[in-house]
Structure 1
């Protein structure tokens, strides 16, 4: 399937690969975009008939699913976007370097706070929230640029962070689903029952009948109070563990954060405020997806939203996987004293995050060497180990770096016709 734009870059209905090949051969169209493959007509069309298309968006704070379907359930587009969650860590690191430099070089300056316009601006969102909302809006705008969308449906979710931490504050105890402690007096009672009222270290060999519940990761270092971080020990083993005489092999869990739940509340409000999208909810999507017998993937959730559970016929088997990255390299130097200069421009005609073709496959540049070699990675940021290390001279640049790394893959043919 090939996406088509008219001479004025207005999206039309997609065509088959055969038709697109003929138009390109007859020089009646030109290639507008490689991924996804899009052509633009070079002549005026008498009629521009389009069908009503629905864009379904599975919103999220980490991964977003997107799909387009017509009123008959024909799926014409699928994508999955991984949103940035590294902005806070990068800003903290920048702040650390900046404070270090200020203490070394400008200690005579008077300390100032809240002297940035953004820090005192009203109705301001954090850089992380701004990036996540813009990622949703950018995907919606991109889909509208290649397909004639008539409706938009967004799956949203609302959370009560205070109730998630303290379910006892709920007036309606059935507001959230039954948890692990349902039917038990407290978490301690559940853990004792789960472990069969038996020490999990000595298995009862110590003959000590006094049982205690132990935090695998200590609370003093951020250990969670959830059952996954608790274990039943007898008093003999518990005391020996705290003296350092024995060691547990089981891993624990640190306290979880509710950042994502809080962010989803804001993302929901902003998407509904800035667009004309309709709203749906996760429990509706889950029910429809299970009836359609589709696996749990974010782009399949988006397919379910776009088709509204009426059944899907996949006219395209291509899925676009996108990963949001920084728009540019802002770090100019490296080291505590900025002693190592980092080249941010082109090196041998290549930049970081450029998509390149090497040995018949597409990769992204993760690192560059002044000696003419490069470190390559996949769409998920995992380094691909090549022996010998790839040379710039043996790879071809497919596209320049953008704020999204994009690659196209094929879904299994078993889902080619799901009704």
Structure 2
């Protein structure tokens, strides 16, 4: 299946590969995009025949599913996008490098804080949230450029962090006003009262009257501050435990992460505000997916959203896997004192994340060597163990790097047979 654009770049219904080959051979069309393969007509069309197409989006904070189907359940487009979750770590690393350099080379300068306009701007989103929201919007805009979309449906989810921490609030709404530590000055007082002011290891045999609250899983190891990870110990046992003289047989609890749930609440609001998409919910998608016997994948969830319960028919067995990457590399030098410059521009005509073809297979450039060799990777970022190491002279660049790297794969046949 080939996507078709008019002479003025308006999307039409896709055509078969045979018709596209004939149009290209006769010079009536030209190749507009390789992945997904799209052609543009060279002549003006008087009538533009289009059908009602629905674009279904399975939102997420890590992966996004996208699918397009018509009213009969014919699936015309399928993709999965992996969103960036490395922005926070990279910004912390850059901050560490800046602080190190400032202390080494510019200690005479007066310290300046809150001098960045974006960091003190009101109603702003963090760089991570901005990237994730833009990734959803970019995919919705891209699909509209290759297919005549008439309806957009977004599967969203509203998470309540209080319910995730304490499910009992669903049956007792008064617990919303009474938190987990209601009735106690703090969690420490609650733990002491729970343990009846008694050491839980020696049971009072040490005669030490000074009691302390101990983290079963240390905070340095990701231990939680909740009461399930706290224990009352006397000072004698507490000191002996930290010196390795005694060992507890209790199980603690690690700190829970609700970052993704909080992010999804913001993503939902922004998508509905910035687009004309309709909203659906996860339990409806799950019901439709199970009725059609599709496996649990993000792109199959999007199919269930787009078909609205109609049994899908896959007109194409190709799926696009996309991964968001950084638009450029901030690090320009390496070494303890930044004495070695990193080549930022093209090296032998190639840049990092360029899509290349080597021995009939398509890869992405992971690293470059000034000696004329390259390290290749797949769409997941895994290094491809090729021997001998590929040379630039033996590979061909398919497409230049962008903020998304894309590769096309085939859906396993047993997935399609299930429907």
Task: State the Cα distance separating 1:172 from its structure 2 match.
Answer: 4.1
Match of 1:76 in 2: 76
Match of 1:269 in 2: 269
Match of 2:55 in 1: 55
In structure 1, how many angstroms separate the alpha carbons of the residues matched to 2:76 and 2:217? 48
In structure 2, how many angstroms separate the alpha carbons of the residues matched to 1:225 and 1:110? 38
- Please give the per-residue CA displacement for 1:297-341, whole angstroms capped at 9, x wherever unaligned: 000000000001111000010000000001112211123321111
Q: CA 1:357–1:254 in structure 2 vs 1: closer, same or farther (change >3 Å)?
A: farther
Match of 1:286 in 2: 286
Q: Which runs of 5+ in 1 are unaligned?
A: 176-213, 231-238
Q: Which runs of 5+ in 2 are unaligned?
A: 176-213, 231-238
Is residue 114 of structure 1 aligned with residue 114 of structure 2?
Answer: yes
Q: Alignment partner of 2:119: what SS?
A: helix
Match of 2:161 in 1: 161
Q: Alignment partner of 2:32: what SS?
A: strand
Match of 1:392 in 2: 392
In structure 1, how many angstroms separate the alpha carbons of the residues matched to 2:383 and 2:130? 29
Aligned residues: 375
| Structure 2 length-normalised TM | 0.83
Match of 1:405 in 2: 405
In structure 2, how many angstroms separate the alpha carbons of the residues matched to 1:99 and 1:54? 50
In structure 2, how many angstroms separate the alpha carbons of the residues matched to 1:241 and 1:290? 51
In structure 2, how many angstroms separate the alpha carbons of the residues matched to 1:98 and 1:354? 29
Q: CA 1:82–1:229 in structure 2 vs 1: closer, same or farther (change >3 Å)?
A: farther
Match of 1:194 in 2: none
Q: Say whether the 8 Å CA contact 1:315–1:416 is kept in structure 2.
A: no
Match of 1:339 in 2: 339
Match of 1:209 in 2: none
Match of 2:21 in 1: 21
Q: Say whether the 8 Å CA contact 1:313–1:418 is kept in structure 2.
A: no
In structure 1, how many angstroms separate the alpha carbons of the residues matched to 2:395 and 2:16? 31
Match of 2:86 in 1: 86
In structure 2, how many angstroms separate the alpha carbons of the residues matched to 1:89 and 1:138? 24
Q: Say whether the 8 Å CA contact 1:11–1:147 is kept in structure 2.
A: yes
In structure 2, how many angstroms separate the alpha carbons of the residues matched to 1:407 and 1:76? 17
Task: State the Cα distance separating 1:109 from its structure 2 match.
Answer: 1.7
Q: Say whether the 8 Å CA contact 1:157–1:265 is kept in structure 2.
A: yes
In structure 1, how many angstroms separate the alpha carbons of the residues matched to 2:408 and 2:246? 51
Match of 2:221 in 1: 221
Q: CA 1:78–1:377 in structure 2 vs 1: closer, same or farther (change >3 Å)?
A: same
Q: Say whether the 8 Å CA contact 2:295–2:415 is kept in structure 1.
A: no
Q: CA 1:242–1:132 in structure 2 vs 1: closer, same or farther (change >3 Å)?
A: same
Q: Alignment partner of 1:162: what SS?
A: helix
In structure 1, how many angstroms separate the alpha carbons of the residues matched to 2:115 and 2:320? 42
Q: Say whether the 8 Å CA contact 1:312–1:417 is kept in structure 2.
A: no
Q: Alignment partner of 2:337: what SS?
A: coil
